[in-house]
Structure 1
Amino acid sequence: MSDVILETRGLTKEFKGFTAVADVNLQVERGSIHALIGPNGAGKTTVFNLVTKFLPPTAGSIHFNGQDITHEPPALTARRGFVRSFQISATFPHLTVLENVRIGLQRKLGTEFHFWKSAKTLNRLNDEAMALLEAVDLGSFAATMTSEMPYGRKRALEIATTLALEPEMMLLDEPTQGMGHEDIERVVELIRKVSANRTILMVEHNLSVVAHLCHRITVLTRGSVLAEGSYEEVSKNPQVLEAYVGSDNMNDAHH
């Protein structure tokens, strides 16, 4: 039995008589990069919103590290080390990049951190924040106003602010959406780098990203799991290819 960090059992979500997610049994292995993919309307975002507690399920359960977290408050789930990247990427546009990461570090410290603490404490946080920025190649942007950051670098900042919380498992919602080729490559490298010693679950439209990055892939269609396996396996699956016809084309991913 492999080491499963996140598991859903019979996860189901109905909206006014429409079943958006139907009986999804997901198992994410510890230390893996796992992708949720599927054509538009497949239910990827809904599954993501269910596991990250943005939505309550109609039926089924969610287990993290063997604990049933289905009905616990999202803040408690986050404290367990299970963090969705944009939970804190409501970055503050009029603060510098460094200040934004520092706020992430302050959140981790929780209530015992007060803004009137000594300059020494702030300096220690500055050093930690700077180390995180260096880790995501944003050292040179430390003093930049966040609102003036290039788009692709903002996503790197979101990842840095998420890393400030020291997540054991990170959830990334379409991390390369809206990016040009160069930014995509940079973000893929960044995800690969930060995946050391942690688990990542991501929703991703770009199939070449999935092909190059993810160990395991769950393909959803119409709210149900159609296939699961390595990219090699799912990209050759005739049902998967059929599901993708007329939407994102699976073959685009081989470039």
Structure 2
Amino acid sequence: MSEDDILVTEGLTKSFGDFQAVSDVSIRVKRGAIHALIGPNGAGKTTCFNMLTKFIAPTAGTIRFNGRDITRLRPADVARLGLVRSFQISAVFPHLTALENVRIALQRSRGDSFDFWRSKTALDPLNGRALELLDSVGLTSFAYSRAGEISYGRKRALEIATTLAIEPELMLLDEPMAGMGHEDIDRIAALILRVSANRTILMVEHNLQVVANLSHRITVLTRGRVLAEGDYRTVSENHAVREAYMGAGHG
């Protein structure tokens, strides 16, 4: 494993009974890069993400993060090491304000128990950092709005803020643009580019324009296997990729 590699999988495989969802997937994610994992529906992308973040155990293969074998670690242990996932469906507390959501994430990052039963003032020391994080994702003016009352795109920005609160070294983003209109897509794409300045990002994304604009490297999966890898031009000109993912008639 090179020092430039932050995450390496070798022979990653997952079977569910007789069905092999992922087969012999080997990926190298370079430190500081935005790396996209793409492929048609059923290609095994989400299963790979679930194995990387330890929500499911691989049937075979290894996962190394910063040179350490994390294949058998628990999800919480992997998150503490700095590998943190943001989910496809926005995961925020809708009845709490944006500020309160980020404060809860900050509690987790410092290892405290969640202080739901304590006075709100007990968490006031976290306000400064929480407001900084909200500012970093463009949500300063929504700090005291309930999360359930802000737009879908801003909920996704809030989710990224709560992920940043855990101080990840590698962020895994699961379809960050899912369900968004053009304006929100542009806002979140710009946000991802901004937060990638001092960390690595691995993302599953169906929007090929976003992938083209953001990604340094792309891994294409089909039927649970790696079909191609490279920059956007390399994979988009690959005939097998065009057949399997984009459709042979696409330019």
TM more than 0.5:
yes
Partner residue in 2 for 1:144? 145
What displacement does 1:117 show? 8.3
CA contact (8 A) 1:173 1:203 kept: yes
- Does residue 43 of structure 2 align to residue 38 of structure 1? no
Specify every segment of 5 or more residues in structure 2 that has no aligned partner in the other structure, as ranges: none
Q: How far off its partner does 1:124 sit?
A: 2.8
> Secondary structure at 2:55's aligned position in 1?
coil
TM-score by length of 2: 0.93
- After superposition, the C-alpha distances for 1:162-198 in whole angstroms (9 at most, x for unaligned) are 0000100000000000100000000000000000110
User: Is the 1:88–1:161 contact (alpha carbons within 8 Å) kept by the matching residues of 2?
Assistant: no
What's the TM-score once normalised by structure 1's chain length? 0.92
Question: Is residue 88–residue 104 contact of structure 1 (8 Å, CA) maintained in 2?
Answer: no
Quickly say closer, same or farther: Cα 1:112–1:57, change in 2 above 3 A: closer
Aligned-residue Cα RMSD (Å) equals 2.0
Contact 2:38 2:204 in 1 (8 A): yes
Structure 2 residue 188 is matched with structure 1 residue 182: no
Q: Residue 210 of structure 1 corresponds to which residue in structure 2?
A: 211
Aligned partner of 1:227 in structure 2 is 228
Q: Which stretch shows the higher mean deviation, 40-49 or 185-194?
A: 40-49
Contact kept in structure 1, 2:88 and 2:175, CA below 8 Å: no
The Cα of 1:93 is off from its aligned counterpart by: 1.0
Q: What is the CA–CA distance in structure 2 between the aligned matches of 1:44 and 1:118, rounded to whole Å?
A: 40
Instruction: Give 1:112 shift.
Output: 7.3
1:61-111 Cα distance to aligned partner (Å, 9 max, x none):
111001110111111110001100139963211111110001111111113
Amino acid at match of 2:45: K
Code of the residue aligned with 1:135 in structure 2: it is S
Find the aligned partners of 2:127 and 2:11 in 1 and give their Cα distance: 44
Identity %: 65
Distance in structure 2 (CA, Å) of the matches to 1:33 and 1:250: 25
Q: Deviations over 1:204-234 (max 9, x none)?
A: 0000000000100000011000000000110
Instruction: Assess if the C-alpha contact under 8 Å between 1:36 and 1:218 holds in 2.
Output: yes
The 1:250/1:26 distance shift into structure 2, 3 A limit, reads farther
Residues 88/168 of structure 1: CA separation in 2 closer, same or farther (3 Å cut): farther
Which residue of the partner structure matches residue 165 of structure 1?
Answer: 166
1:18 is matched with which residue? 19
On the 8 A contact 1:207/1:250 being kept in 2, the answer is no
Letter in 2 for 1:80: L
Does the CA contact (< 8 Å) of 1:85 and 1:172 recur in 2? yes
Matches within 5 A, 1:1-255: 1=2, 3-86=4-87, 90-111=91-112, 116=118, 119=121, 122-246=123-247, 251=251
Per the alignment, in what secondary structure is the counterpart of residue 125 of structure 1?
helix
Which aligned segments of 4 or more residues in structure 1 are displaced greater than 6 angstroms? none
State how far apart, in whole Å, the 1-side matches of 2:250 and 2:52 are: 26
Going from structure 1 to structure 2, the CA distance change for 1:169 and 1:230 (only over 3 Å counts) comes to same
**CA separation of 1:235 and 1:245: change in aligned 2, threshold 3 A:** closer
Contact 1:89–1:161 (8 Å) recurs in 2? no
Q: Tell me the SS of whatever aligns to 2:79.
A: helix
Query: How far apart, CA to CA, are the structure 2 residues paired with 1:52 and 1:43?
Result: 14
Within 2, Cα distance between the matches of 1:194 and 1:245?
Answer: 29
Give distance in 1, aligned partners of 2:165 and 2:5.
24
| One-letter amino acid of the structure 2 residue matched with residue 185 of structure 1 | D
